Amino acid sequence: MKAGVLQFFSWPERRVAIETVYERALQRIEIMESSGYDAVWLAEHHFHSFSVCPSVHMMGLQVAARTRRLRIGTAVSLAAFYHPLRLAEEVALLDIFSGGRVNWGAGRGFDRTEFRAFGVTPEESAERFQESVDIVLKAWSNERLTHQGRYYNFVDVEVLPKPRQKPHPPVWLAASSEEAIRRAAAKGFSILMDPHASHREIARKHELYRAGLEAGGRSIVGREIPIARFVAIANTPREAEEVARRGARWLVGSYAHPQNADASKLKGIDPKMAESSADPAERYLDGVIVYGTPEAVTDQLICLREEMFLEYLLCAPLSHESFTLFTDKVLPRLG
């Protein structure tokens, strides 16, 4: 099983300087470089302290300067909020400065606060996102770009620089909804799978994706499909459950913006969460977060390899201890 880390830049209660948040994350990334991780995948968010990383491309340059081997993933570049030519330039520049180590993940986002602030309606975001991705790939693959679309029109533009990787960095699309999975499969894109769906839902969506590929004459064989899972690890089961419970409450509070008491904002993650009257934090403990001692977590992940086709784990640790124990005691056994 291959493993990467989904790196958030959370700033809970703003207890420390934001510079400390970044330095701690970069120190963790240096540990990844010397361990058995394949990649760090940087999470882009805007306008709240859940993860203060508005530019994964600028953060990627910091990672590139501190590492030599580790691949640098974007999870994701929120393509619907960028001008696509600027996006093509920035990711290409990161690929050059990293020595050709970029894994480009692109997504359309789900947070309505971001949509409002950037002037993009959720209703148009899927088409705008897909057109932006298509333009970026054309800009990378062609000497000059001509494009006529719904949102953008360009004639004979030379987009520079081109990426170091040829014809371009490997590409993944974030796909959480069934509609997004079908669109990605129909166009032959590989996908990133989200950390919020249950293990059972991930398995079902994986099969939906496989069927969509096959319907278009393509195969899932040989494709890397990073599947994100929140992980909580401690030396005793009770401690691990407490880490998982705190993490679940933080996730729900961050996404739902509890100051507004508006659970409907969870709908962008999973419609069932908004519709259920049960405590949504409990849902994370029941089939979403992988938690326990290092031995128990290893066993769970080995089972999930069969149950939900987990060949590439995108680990999102819910504490520093979880990251350390995963690195020292779980990762060696997965390899």
List pLDDT tens digits, range 119-174: 999 999 999 999 999 999 999 999 999 999 999 999 999 999 999 999 999 999 99
Tokens 């958030």 locate to 8
| Residue 255 pLDDT exceeds 80 | no
Three-state DSSP class for residue 261: coil
> Which of 7-24 are b and which e, b meaning 16 or more Cβ less than 10 Å from the residue's Cβ?
bbbbbeeeeeeeeebbee
Model confidence at 277, pLDDT cuts 50, 70, 90, reads: very low
The CATH number of 2-174 is: 3.20.20.30
CB contact set of 10 (below 8 Å; sequence gap of 6+): 21, 49, 50, 51, 52, 250, 254
Q: What is the pTM of this model?
A: 0.94
Query: Which phi and psi (to 5°) does residue 138 adopt?
Result: -65, -40
Per-residue pLDDT at 273: 52
Domain residue spans of the chain: 2-174
Distance CA 1, CA 214 (A): 24
